[in-house]
Structure 1
Amino acid sequence: MPVSPRIGLVGSQGAYGRWLRRFFEQRMGLQVWGRDPVGDTALSERALLEEVDVLVFCAPIRQTPEVIRHYADIAAGIERGQLWLDITSIKAAPVAAMLSSQAEVVGLHPMSAAPKSATLRGRAMVVCEARLDAWRPWLEAFLAASEADCVRAEAEQHDRVMALVQGMVHASHMVQGAVLRELAPDVGGLDAIRPFASVGYELDMAVMRRMLASNPAIYQDIQFDNPHVAPMLERMSAQLDKLCDLVWRGDNVARDQLREQLLERSRDYAGKQSVAEGSYAFERLGYLLADLREPRFISVFLPLDRPGSLRALLSVFEQRGINLDSIHSSRSADGELLFRIGVSRDGDATALQDAVRAIEAEGIGRVLEASGIA
């Protein structure tokens, strides 16, 4: 096993392919070669196999097993001594396909879209070791560099869990989108609903809109290509039918059955501590949404990531007697780390305008947006 293995990406022009190239080159200092039908065909498939030590498949879900088998046929033994990885949302079929090769094999599933950040810090990644020996030390180094919260699982277990974590969640939000499309026009449309929104509605709408903004093929494949999703949908449909029947009946017996069958049993199954933790997490998200709705804020990018940078930013407001309501860090669409600072509604507008000028004049940061301070 080489100290600095050469990395090959199959699907190098996709979102994760582009992210992995940056990660391997910039984070781990490794050489990367890629191949993709869309704009990355300088190397033939055989040449890519001959060039690399680690081959990562990041193709679309439904195509991945066939693509892997195709590469295994082309390799015809030259992959012996290599490590093959895939990062597909379904694991049993891709892992089985990789095992038809003579390479060492590990299936990976980062539990998020390709991030804007340089690592997977704060995100889970499922690791399915199928055939691993000489490459284990490098794999562990790679996982450590990714900063992901790694969970080990068998490929079959992964797919059964994903039927719930992905299949069930995506299905419920796709259905919500369809119901809104049918019924929202009767009450004035989505914009008319928004002022009435609860925290729960806002959170659900955020997930639904995130899905609608993403590649629909991902959600399509997760429903169709995981064999455990269809049985889950049958259970989900049966529970929804039960709820519908109880609500149409509407009598006291139906009300008691709804509470007992759909609320109390699930509460008891989840457990007292889990329910309490979930309730508190929901409250925290509610406070966050309330902060983000406040109309008076300043959004600042700090170019110098070093101790004291945030203190220098906050001192600008302190020196001018400006009271802050909230501070939240996030990332821009380009992946820049920024701070959204909510300011008191009754703060002096002149002082706020002076603070904005000082942030840039003193080289502390770049103000991306300043709202409600005119």
Structure 2
Amino acid sequence: MKKIKIGIIGGTGGIGRWFAQYFQKEGLEVWVSGRRSGPDLPTMARECPVVIVSVPIAATLSVIEQIGPLMPEEALLTDFTSLKAEPVRAMLRASSCEVIGLHPLFGPEAKTLAGHNVVVCPARSRKWLPFVLDLFRKGRARIIETTPEKHDEWMAQVQVLNHLNTIAMGLALKRSGFQLAELLPVATPAFEAKVEWMKKIFGPNAGLYAQIITHNPFVEDVFENYQESLRELKKWIRRRDDEGLRKRIEQAGLFPAVRMKEE
């Protein structure tokens, strides 16, 4: 049986390279193109019935607009972007082929696919959806099917709010005047875990996190909610009202099954 060819635009680094290796292990023929290497877009569209766009968010729409019109009607165009609504709309608009939005919710440091979440957003798909689902199931991924719009709403909380919190903590530490070298010897496990996340966000991939935040259509709502939460906390802190703060934390009801034991 002839191997299915999968083309990955942006497959020379990050999650694109990770999946190139995964697909090869699953017996697929993988074509990879980077900024300065690999086949050009017309060749990839002609030779690969499945093409994945795996480039930075800011470049995604441009790449989709270039590759979309080249894709045969019986092919599949998909993407690994951290946002889904805008890229999926662009793929539908630029092509006549099948379209499925994908978002692997893990980074290239993962050892295997097993246990990791992958969001699947079918948009125009008949032939290729079973193939895509089976490909992830083989690796024992947890598959979540949803709409592109709902995905972006979820990611506003899961990614945008989370990363905003980490960035705010890093900037606050910088303003405090303390150096991490001074604080780490007295760190708790919780602080050490936060520092590890700050290393990722304040490191070479800062641009990735900046794009995840600023390109999400719900970012302003998330930011206003975050600011309002800080203003609310400020009331209790100014009054040194530990009892009021405790009650507010409990009233939030985030984990109703958990009952905090009174000290």
Same fold (TM over 0.5): yes
- Kindly provide the CA deviation profile for residues 91-124 of structure 1, in whole angstroms up to 9, marking residues without a partner as x: 111111111211111111111111352x311211
Partner of 1:9: 8
Cα offset for 1:269? 4.1
- Kindly provide the CA deviation profile for residues 305-328 of structure 1, in whole angstroms up to 9, marking residues without a partner as x: xxxxxxxxxxxxxxxxxxxxxxxx
Structure 1 residue corresponding to 2:40, chosen from 39, 44, 47: 44
Partner of 1:115: 109
Instruction: Give the secondary structure class of the aligned counterpart of 1:213.
Output: coil
Compared CA separation, residues 3 and 84, structure 1 to 2 (3 A): farther
Structure 2 residue corresponding to 1:191, chosen from 178, 181, 185: 181
Task: Report the Cα distance in structure 2 between the residues aligned to 1:123 and 1:242, rounded to whole angstroms.
Answer: 35
Task: Report the Cα distance in structure 2 between the residues aligned to 1:214 and 1:154, rounded to whole angstroms.
Answer: 31
Tell me the amino acid that sits aligned with residue 111 of structure 1.
L
Cα offset for 1:184? 4.0
Q: How does 1:1-374 map to 2 (within 5 A)?
A: 4-25=3-24, 27-37=25-35, 39-41=36-38, 43-73=39-69, 75=70, 78-100=71-93, 101-117=95-111, 119-185=112-178, 189-250=179-240, 254-261=241-248, 263-266=249-252, 268-273=253-258
- Kindly provide the CA deviation profile for residues 30-88 of structure 1, in whole angstroms up to 9, marking residues without a partner as x: 21222222x314x2211111111100110101211221122123x1xx42000111111
Task: Report the Cα distance in structure 2 between the residues aligned to 1:129 and 1:92, rounded to whole angstroms.
Answer: 11
Task: Report the Cα distance in structure 1 between the residues aligned to 2:99 and 2:233, rounded to whole angstroms.
Answer: 45
Tell me the amino acid that sits aligned with residue 103 of structure 1.
C
Q: Any gaps of 5 or more consecutive residues in structure 1? A: 280-374
Query: What is the root-mean-square deviation in Å for CA atoms of aligned residues?
Result: 2.1
Compared CA separation, residues 69 and 92, structure 1 to 2 (3 A): same
Tell me the amino acid that sits aligned with residue 48 of structure 1.
M
CA contact (8 A) 1:184 1:190 kept: no
TM-score w.r.t. structure 1 length?
Answer: 0.65
CA contact (8 A) 1:7 1:30 kept: yes
CA contact (8 A) 1:95 1:106 kept: yes
Cα offset for 1:194? 1.9
Cα offset for 1:136? 2.7
Partner of 1:287: none
CA contact (8 A) 2:68 2:77 kept: no
Task: Report the Cα distance in structure 2 between the residues aligned to 1:51 and 1:239, rounded to whole angstroms.
Answer: 52
Q: Any gaps of 5 or more consecutive residues in structure 2? A: none
CA contact (8 A) 2:122 2:129 kept: no
* Runs of 4+ residues over 2 Å off in structure 1: 210-214, 254-261
